[in-house]
């Protein structure tokens, strides 16, 4: 049985297979419209979401299956041990996708589930987003992946961790432009830092202007974890972070007239990590990237349910 926890246990070949299936289904959706007939996906959310919820739900519908949204707070997950609820859930559905606050709870789900579990984003990893991002990059470059230079500017977080992992698996050149690594951050992962230090094609710079030279893709994400963004109790913390992070903003001064594509996993916070004119700049592929959430989820679901690409 396959799960998607964080991409660490996936080979480059397996990731390429998921992306290949995503592209095939995207190009020929009718051929796959009944492949998950009779299958049900449970979608469990401890945190807010637009894209992850919608894209998984539409993916199941368009593959002939069904999805069930479960809000953590209005379910009995709040009353008992996660392992008991997952033991039950995995006997009534054929796949589980969960957006949880803590990766340790994702691991508990993996060990309790009788069916595949997908990490729909936790504090350390966002593997579904990384699959989408690579699908999008492959669609917007003529270069082989090993010649592509992806630059991430912003904070080190779950998104940058998953980009680091997928870049290392697929052989991309990847540059992180962020402030110094904070080992007390909730997203800190020693395995990711090891990759950054040891992989010759993955670098960490603190100067974003230097990082974006020769970039094919320049990518950013929110500076503040989304559940904190509108918390009035965190205003001072947010203000200090904004002052520290403004040099890492994607704006016209940073990308100038460089021949690069601009990416963001959304939701966007205008004037923080990116300026509005960069979102609508001709080089922006942000909305195409977000639309690809649907196609990447389909490729992932197909790969989790079927051993071979030809099974429909």
Residue 50 contacts ligand CP per CB under 6 A? yes
Stretch that binds ligand CP, among 140-148, 244-252, 263-271, 274-282 (CB under 6 A): 263-271
Residue 264 contacts ligand CP per CB under 6 A? no
The verdict on whether omega for the bond into residue 267 sits within 30 degrees of 0, i.e. cis, is yes
Residue 123 contacts ligand CP per CB under 6 A? no
Q: Which is nearer to ligand CP, 85 or 221 (CB)?
A: 221
Residue 265 contacts ligand CP per CB under 6 A? yes
Residue 58 contacts ligand CP per CB under 6 A? no
Residue 114 contacts ligand CP per CB under 6 A? no
Q: Which is nearer to ligand CP, 85 or 265 (CB)?
A: 265
Among positions 19, 96, 98, 121, the unique one binding ligand CP when judged by CB under 6 A: 121
Residue 266 contacts ligand CP per CB under 6 A? yes
Residue 129 contacts ligand CP per CB under 6 A? yes
Contact between 265 and 127 (Cβ < 8 Å): no
In whole angstroms, the minimum distance from the beta carbon of 126 to ligand CP comes to 6
Among positions 20, 33, 40, 49, the unique one binding ligand CP when judged by CB under 6 A: 49
In whole angstroms, the minimum distance from the beta carbon of 296 to ligand CP comes to 11
Pairing of strands 173-177, 95-99: unpaired
267-286 positions binding ligand CP, by CB under 6 A: 267
In whole angstroms, the minimum distance from the beta carbon of 269 to ligand CP comes to 12
Stretch that binds ligand CP, among 11-19, 29-37, 43-51, 61-69 (CB under 6 A): 43-51
Unique residue bearing structure tokens 């601009």: 262
Contact between 86 and 112 (Cβ < 8 Å): yes
Q: Which is nearer to ligand CP, 35 or 167 (CB)?
A: 167
In whole angstroms, the minimum distance from the beta carbon of 308 to ligand CP comes to 29
In whole angstroms, the minimum distance from the beta carbon of 293 to ligand CP comes to 7
Residue 189 contacts ligand CP per CB under 6 A? no
Q: Which is nearer to ligand CP, 105 or 309 (CB)?
A: 105
What is the DSSP secondary-structure string of the chain? ---BSSSTT--HHHHHHHHHHHHHHHH-GGGGTTTTTT-EEEEEESS--SHHHHHHHHHHHHTT-EEEEEEGGGSGGGGS-HHHHHHHHHHH-SEEEEE-S-HHHHHHHHHH-SS-EEE---SS--HHHHHHHHHHHHHT-SS-GGG-EEEEES--SHHHHHHHHHHHHHT-EEEEE-SSP-TTSTT--HHHHHHHHH-TTEEEES-HHHHTTT-SEEEE--SS-GGGTT-GGGHHHHHHHHHHHGGG-B-HHHHTT-S-EEEE-S---BTTTB-HHHHSSTTB-HHHHHHHHHHHHHHHHHHHH-SSTT--
Q: Which is nearer to ligand CP, 121 or 212 (CB)?
A: 121
Q: Which residues lie near ligand CP (CB under 6 A)?
A: 49-52, 121, 129, 265-267
């Amino acid at each position: 049985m396959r799960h998607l926890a964080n991409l660490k246990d996936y080979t480059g070949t397996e990731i390429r297979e998921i992306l290949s299936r995503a592209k095939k289904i995207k190009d020929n959706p009718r051929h796959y419209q009944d492949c998950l007939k009779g299958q049900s996906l449970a979608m469990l959310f401890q945190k807010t979401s637009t894209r992850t919820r919608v894209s998984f739900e539409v993916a199941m519908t368009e593959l002939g299956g069904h999805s069930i949204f479960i809000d953590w707070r209005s379910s009995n997950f709040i009353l008992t041990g996660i392992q008991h609820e997952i033991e039950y859930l995995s006997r009534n559905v054929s796949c589980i996708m969960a957006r949880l606050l803590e990766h340790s709870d994702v691991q508990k789900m993996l060990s309790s589930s009788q069916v595949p579990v997908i990490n729909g984003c936790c504090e350390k990893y966002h593997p579904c987003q990384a699959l989408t991002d690579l699908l999008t990059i492959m669609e917007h470059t003529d270069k082989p992946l090993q010649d592509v230079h992806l630059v991430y500017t912003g904070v080190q977080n779950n998104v940058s961790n998953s980009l680091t992992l997928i870049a290392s698996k697929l052989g991309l050149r990847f540059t992180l432009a962020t402030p110094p690594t904070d080992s007390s951050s909730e997203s800190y992962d020693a395995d990711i830092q090891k990759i950054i230090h040891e992989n010759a094609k993955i670098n960490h710079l603190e100067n974003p202007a230097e990082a974006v030279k020769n970039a094919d893709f320049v990518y950013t994400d929110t500076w503040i974890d989304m559940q904190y963004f509108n918390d009035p109790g965190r205003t001072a913390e947010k203000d200090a972070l904004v002052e520290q992070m403004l040099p890492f903003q994607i704006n016209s001064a940073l990308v100038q007239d460089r021949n690069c594509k601009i990416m963001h996993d959304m939701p966007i916070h205008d004037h923080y990590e990116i300026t509005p004119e960069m979102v609508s700049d001709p080089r922006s592929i942000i909305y195409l990237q977000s639309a690809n959430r649907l196609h990447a989820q389909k490729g992932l679901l197909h790969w989790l349910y079927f051993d071979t690409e030809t099974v429909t």
